[in-house]
Structure 1
């Protein structure tokens, strides 16, 4: 929460002024060029975006001729806009306006990023090396990263005991972790996917033991938000000899732990399909029409603290909020894992018009709801609903309750690690104006 204070550093003020200059400059050029193609650029660009979004909706939500038409429209709309710009001789003007707005947004984001005070949270504390660390490793995870990076040999050379899972046999990793604790382990770690990480992390939290994350999964979202090296998982093992400790939150969904996200609705339905793992794109195209408009349509209701969300098609609950809704595409980041709040993202898009509204207005669209909460209760007219917990396909009885255990998990990380990149904040032009002219920030919740 931002309070009152000086409106940023000199560098932040300069960037804010450059952002305003670029934005105002593009508007001035557009007004001067209204009679010479400026109106064509605005109207054609807007219509192209709307038609492209509508085409994508028809392609995803329908089959047969409608799907084919949607695919053609999604491709033809932007191509048609470019052809029109070339025919009317306004492509240079359009390019100039796009570059101006891109520069304005880039400067605005950098200004907001530099104006934010340094975070005092997620402070690491010195930690002695564990004496009896135990690591559970999945040799299939991440396409075989355990073997490719020699993680077993490296861990054993650093004094750890490794439990190597047999890919052909189902293993209860939580039971293995509890067995290791009973035998005297003073650290638990996992080289595997985020779902496996969460199960072992819960055991570590239960016994107040440090937990080690080895980025040997496919996407390694948890490792990314901890600031670990995802390109070389062997570097995570440096924490065994030169590490420091972080205190972070641990999510809970109906008694099951999660470190990243819990998904309800469309995505959770898709990952239930056995063919999804081998053919993600094909499975999505096959089942989406039924899930969005057909007989397979399910709607979810959620109680997000004191706010009610009705008839949602998809709902995503995260262990601490993402900085933007980009987590839907896998590109989102959580700037903090110790704020003690759940992030909540609800989606309700039922036709092409709402899809276009989402494309044009983004997070301001009525089809997208972004909240934070301490408790989320998800309900449905079904007794049991599909749920994806850190990517793992499960089914849970309704209502499903998500909560957070603040500071429950001790994570051991290497002292030398890449770190978490500064988040890219959403651009609010009133804030940019205040920053550019040195105005004092208003306390959150105060009247303008």
Structure 2
């Protein structure tokens, strides 16, 4: 028998390490792909890999998705872009700096198939593969059908990195794992908005006469709202709705009086401004029993956004088609709010979160705000449902908000007859650390110091002094008793068809 055993290995030679074996397999697979003669690969692979440079392919797809009429598709695009950005940083600025793997030898790769841009950074992992997987997986959390299609495209991008000679197969596999892992973690931290169950009651349409030129519409708009956005909206409305009457709010105008006078002579009351202005317009529309058309002229446009009205064109289309429906109006101590109300430390929590969320994202900003509030905010002893707790903060939503947890962002329905009440108990020391850990891991719903109630009515007594409340971002009174109720489908508003999607 020869010196080599039956497996073909020499017992006198040291075994190859796992890394060496993987590298040998990498080289073999890389060369097999490179030596495959295929005019199709020569034409398509460079185009695909170049399109994915600097994530241009994914950003373009996200922009197209943002122009979709579906709120779910737009949410998917936003999640995809945020996850892509985080993954790009993790792959290119962290993981690659921890590795120093040389790029493959390009000699076996046909000249026609090579990418125009040959990177000089570490080969491990593939940044293109990581961002491709991250975008596709993140989009799939919100929209499985689109995510499935994108996963095939992501796989093709990953293969193009091997075919053009930029990476070994294991680099691409590692990139896929990194991107998919970050997307999965993001889904844990900020759960996707759940689709509406098919057995839920459908929205109530209220057909209106078509108003393609704005006939009968009286629009009250604050041109200074939204950092100048109001002025741009105003210019668009003058062109799109030439028959509408437009009232520009003066800085010293009596908002309630102006809206009431406009509603008296209007068939449709239009409004453009911040959430406080929109709330006042809603009250005027309800008093005079006319529908409301909301133009997104504010900074955040929470109400218009939840209606699916992100542009003047969408409002104009709803007016032209006569698409309207009814939504709930909630009340805190008999004062109405359309979006959210809060008490205790939560107004300060929201202020801190909104300060940071455009720079670091909604959930990281919520974690920062929770940390700061836990350290500095006063607490109150309260009683509700025959039990007492030490309250740190309180959030109330008009209709149920998603995702669950302490960073509510959007409503899938605005006419469910419920208020979304979320209470945070005070916590310090190890309990405070446990709460922050629950926030950071997406497990807050399982934390005993956090409470959620979806109810038509809620009452709470403040036992050791009054607390401030806020409605739709506007600071309200200081009170020692909180009564919350919802007026079911009380307000008629224009919205696109299928706005609950």
- TM-score, normalising length from structure 2? 0.54
Which residue is equivalent to 2:411?
A: 334
What SS is found at the alignment partner of 2:495?
A: strand
Whole-angstrom CA distance in 2 between matches of 1:333 and 1:203? 25
Which residues of 2 match residues 363-378 of structure 1 at below 5 A? 363-378=445-460
What SS is found at the alignment partner of 2:389?
A: strand
Whether the aligned pair in 2 keeps the contact of 1:327 and 1:333 (CA below 8 Å) is no
1:410 aligns with 2:410: no
1:346 aligns with 2:447: no
Q: Which runs of 5+ in 2 are unaligned?
A: 1-89, 100-124, 126-172, 360-365
Whether the aligned pair in 2 keeps the contact of 1:338 and 1:407 (CA below 8 Å) is yes
Equivalent residue in structure 2 for 1:253, among 320, 332, 335: 332
- Cα deviation, residue 101, structure 1: 9.6
Whole-angstrom CA distance in 1 between matches of 2:483 and 2:406? 21
- Cα deviation, residue 411, structure 1: 0.8
Which residue is equivalent to 2:390?
A: 311
Whether the aligned pair in 1 keeps the contact of 2:397 and 2:421 (CA below 8 Å) is yes
Whole-angstrom CA distance in 2 between matches of 1:204 and 1:270? 31
Equivalent residue in structure 1 for 2:404, among 325, 332, 346: 325
Which residue is equivalent to 2:224?
A: 140
- Cα deviation, residue 286, structure 1: 12
Which residue is equivalent to 2:238?
A: 153
Whether the aligned pair in 1 keeps the contact of 2:346 and 2:395 (CA below 8 Å) is no
- The two structures, once aligned, show a CA RMSD in angstroms of 4.3
Whole-angstrom CA distance in 2 between matches of 1:279 and 1:353? 23
Whether the aligned pair in 2 keeps the contact of 1:249 and 1:338 (CA below 8 Å) is yes
Equivalent residue in structure 2 for 1:355, among 436, 439, 451: 436
Which residue is equivalent to 1:14?
A: none
Whether the aligned pair in 2 keeps the contact of 1:341 and 1:372 (CA below 8 Å) is yes
What SS is found at the alignment partner of 2:410?
A: coil
Whether the aligned pair in 2 keeps the contact of 1:155 and 1:161 (CA below 8 Å) is no
Whole-angstrom CA distance in 1 between matches of 2:287 and 2:388? 33
Whole-angstrom CA distance in 1 between matches of 2:216 and 2:181? 58
Q: Deviations over 1:265-323 (max 9, x none)?
A: 223246799xx989999xx99998885345x51225253xx474621211101101113
Which residue is equivalent to 2:499?
A: 419
What SS is found at the alignment partner of 1:313?
A: strand
Equivalent residue in structure 1 for 2:259, among 163, 174, 177: 177
**Structure 1's 311 and 151: CA in aligned 2 closer, same or farther, altered over 3 A?**
farther
- Cα deviation, residue 237, structure 1: 3.0
Q: Deviations over 1:19-64 (max 9, x none)?
A: xxxxxxxxxxxxxxxxxxxxxxxxxxxxxxxxxxxxxxxxxxxxxx
- TM-score, normalising length from structure 1? 0.60
Which residue is equivalent to 2:277?
A: 196
**Structure 1's 327 and 355: CA in aligned 2 closer, same or farther, altered over 3 A?**
closer
Which residue is equivalent to 1:22?
A: none
- Cα deviation, residue 128, structure 1: 0.7
Whole-angstrom CA distance in 2 between matches of 1:185 and 1:327? 40
Which residues of 2 match residues 64-79 of structure 1 at below 5 A? none
Whether the aligned pair in 1 keeps the contact of 2:274 and 2:299 (CA below 8 Å) is yes
**Structure 1's 308 and 187: CA in aligned 2 closer, same or farther, altered over 3 A?**
farther
**Structure 1's 156 and 256: CA in aligned 2 closer, same or farther, altered over 3 A?**
same
Which residue is equivalent to 1:236?
A: 315
- Greater RCO (CA < 8 Å, at least 6 residues apart): 1
1:166 aligns with 2:245: no
Whether the aligned pair in 1 keeps the contact of 2:371 and 2:436 (CA below 8 Å) is no
Whether the aligned pair in 2 keeps the contact of 1:314 and 1:346 (CA below 8 Å) is yes
Whether the aligned pair in 2 keeps the contact of 1:300 and 1:314 (CA below 8 Å) is no
What SS is found at the alignment partner of 2:238?
A: helix
Whole-angstrom CA distance in 1 between matches of 2:395 and 2:370? 18
Which residue is equivalent to 2:345?
A: 266
What SS is found at the alignment partner of 1:122?
A: coil
Whether the aligned pair in 2 keeps the contact of 1:265 and 1:314 (CA below 8 Å) is yes
- Cα deviation, residue 102, structure 1: 5.7
Equivalent residue in structure 2 for 1:292, among 363, 370, 374: 374
Which residue is equivalent to 2:138?
A: none
Which residue is equivalent to 2:132?
A: none
What SS is found at the alignment partner of 1:241?
A: helix
Whole-angstrom CA distance in 1 between matches of 2:388 and 2:413? 25
**Structure 1's 286 and 386: CA in aligned 2 closer, same or farther, altered over 3 A?**
farther
**Structure 1's 327 and 144: CA in aligned 2 closer, same or farther, altered over 3 A?**
farther
What SS is found at the alignment partner of 2:400?
A: coil
**Structure 1's 314 and 104: CA in aligned 2 closer, same or farther, altered over 3 A?**
closer
- Cα deviation, residue 224, structure 1: 1.9
Whole-angstrom CA distance in 2 between matches of 1:288 and 1:368? 12
Which residue is equivalent to 1:216?
A: 297
What SS is found at the alignment partner of 1:197?
A: helix
Which residues of 2 match residues 42-81 of structure 1 at below 5 A? none
Whole-angstrom CA distance in 2 between matches of 1:194 and 1:216? 10
Q: Greater CA radius of gyration, 1 or 2?
A: 2
Whether the aligned pair in 1 keeps the contact of 2:466 and 2:478 (CA below 8 Å) is yes
